[in-house]
Amino acid sequence: MQNHCQRLLCLLCINFLLFAGIANAQTICIAEIATNNLNVRAAPSADAEVVTQLNEGQQIVATLLNDGWAMTYADNNVPVYFSAEFINVVSEIVTTGPDLLNLITE
Protein backbone atom coordinates (compact mmCIF):
# COMPACT_ATOMS: atom_id res chain seq x y z
CA MET A 1 0.00 0.00 0.00
CA GLN A 2 2.85 2.38 0.85
CA ASN A 3 4.42 1.89 -2.62
CA HIS A 4 1.11 2.76 -4.30
CA CYS A 5 0.78 5.91 -2.19
CA GLN A 6 4.36 6.94 -2.98
CA ARG A 7 3.81 6.40 -6.72
CA LEU A 8 0.59 8.40 -6.62
CA LEU A 9 2.29 11.26 -4.80
CA CYS A 10 5.14 11.22 -7.34
CA LEU A 11 2.68 11.30 -10.22
CA LEU A 12 0.84 14.24 -8.69
CA CYS A 13 4.09 16.16 -8.21
CA ILE A 14 5.24 15.40 -11.75
CA ASN A 15 1.92 16.47 -13.22
CA PHE A 16 2.12 19.72 -11.29
CA LEU A 17 5.61 20.41 -12.67
CA LEU A 18 4.50 19.54 -16.20
CA PHE A 19 1.56 21.87 -16.15
CA ALA A 20 3.74 24.57 -14.60
CA GLY A 21 5.93 24.34 -17.73
CA ILE A 22 9.10 23.33 -15.91
CA ALA A 23 9.81 19.96 -17.53
CA ASN A 24 11.29 18.89 -20.89
CA ALA A 25 9.80 15.98 -22.88
CA GLN A 26 11.13 12.47 -22.19
CA THR A 27 9.34 9.29 -21.18
CA ILE A 28 9.70 8.02 -17.64
CA CYS A 29 8.29 4.55 -17.10
CA ILE A 30 8.20 1.52 -14.88
CA ALA A 31 10.24 -1.05 -16.79
CA GLU A 32 10.48 -4.79 -16.24
CA ILE A 33 13.75 -6.45 -17.15
CA ALA A 34 13.14 -9.08 -19.88
CA THR A 35 16.46 -10.97 -19.67
CA ASN A 36 18.88 -12.28 -17.08
CA ASN A 37 22.20 -10.52 -16.45
CA LEU A 38 21.32 -7.27 -18.24
CA ASN A 39 24.45 -5.13 -18.15
CA VAL A 40 24.01 -1.72 -16.56
CA ARG A 41 26.70 0.67 -17.78
CA ALA A 42 28.34 3.93 -16.75
CA ALA A 43 27.46 5.53 -20.11
CA PRO A 44 24.98 4.81 -22.93
CA SER A 45 27.46 2.77 -24.97
CA ALA A 46 28.15 -0.95 -25.38
CA ASP A 47 31.82 -0.10 -24.74
CA ALA A 48 31.16 1.63 -21.40
CA GLU A 49 32.10 0.08 -18.06
CA VAL A 50 29.58 -2.42 -16.65
CA VAL A 51 28.68 -1.23 -13.13
CA THR A 52 26.08 -3.88 -12.23
CA GLN A 53 23.57 -6.30 -13.73
CA LEU A 54 19.80 -6.64 -13.51
CA ASN A 55 17.82 -9.87 -13.72
CA GLU A 56 14.63 -10.89 -15.48
CA GLY A 57 11.49 -9.79 -13.67
CA GLN A 58 13.05 -6.88 -11.76
CA GLN A 59 11.08 -3.65 -12.07
CA ILE A 60 12.69 -0.23 -12.02
CA VAL A 61 11.82 3.38 -12.80
CA ALA A 62 13.64 4.43 -15.96
CA THR A 63 13.88 7.24 -18.50
CA LEU A 64 13.69 6.06 -22.12
CA LEU A 65 16.29 7.81 -24.24
CA ASN A 66 15.98 8.43 -27.98
CA ASP A 67 19.00 6.32 -28.96
CA GLY A 68 17.80 2.87 -27.83
CA TRP A 69 19.09 3.25 -24.29
CA ALA A 70 17.32 3.73 -20.98
CA MET A 71 18.62 5.51 -17.87
CA THR A 72 18.00 5.10 -14.18
CA TYR A 73 19.88 6.13 -11.06
CA ALA A 74 22.14 3.87 -9.00
CA ASP A 75 21.91 3.83 -5.20
CA ASN A 76 24.41 6.70 -5.03
CA ASN A 77 22.27 8.88 -7.37
CA VAL A 78 24.67 8.41 -10.29
CA PRO A 79 22.95 7.93 -13.66
CA VAL A 80 23.42 4.46 -15.17
CA TYR A 81 22.34 3.11 -18.56
CA PHE A 82 21.10 -0.10 -20.15
CA SER A 83 19.76 -1.18 -23.53
CA ALA A 84 16.03 -0.53 -23.88
CA GLU A 85 15.89 -3.59 -26.15
CA PHE A 86 15.84 -5.84 -23.08
CA ILE A 87 12.99 -4.24 -21.12
CA ASN A 88 9.22 -4.24 -21.22
CA VAL A 89 7.44 -1.03 -20.31
CA VAL A 90 4.97 -1.96 -17.58
CA SER A 91 3.47 1.50 -17.36
CA GLU A 92 4.38 4.92 -18.62
CA ILE A 93 4.51 7.26 -15.68
CA VAL A 94 4.75 10.55 -17.53
CA THR A 95 6.51 12.32 -20.34
CA THR A 96 8.90 14.74 -18.71
CA GLY A 97 12.57 15.58 -18.09
CA PRO A 98 15.29 13.28 -16.72
CA ASP A 99 15.89 15.43 -13.63
CA LEU A 100 12.48 14.44 -12.29
CA LEU A 101 13.52 10.76 -12.35
CA ASN A 102 16.16 11.64 -9.77
CA LEU A 103 13.43 13.09 -7.54
CA ILE A 104 11.32 9.92 -7.87
CA THR A 105 14.17 7.57 -6.98
CA GLU A 106 15.60 9.54 -4.04
How is the chain split into domains, by residue range? 2-105
The residue-averaged pLDDT of 72-78 equals 87
The residue-averaged pLDDT of 75-101 equals 80
Q: Phi and psi for 49 in degrees, rounded to 5? A: -60, 135
State how far the Cα of 57 lies from the Cα of 54, in Å rounded to an integer.
9
Which pLDDT band holds residue 77 (cuts at 50, 70, 90)? confident
Whether the pLDDT of residue 33 is over 90: the answer is yes
Whether the pLDDT of residue 78 is over 70: the answer is yes
Does the domain made of 2-105 have the CATH classification 2.30.30.40? yes
The residue-averaged pLDDT of 23-38 equals 84
What is the predicted pLDDT for the residue at 100? Answer: 54
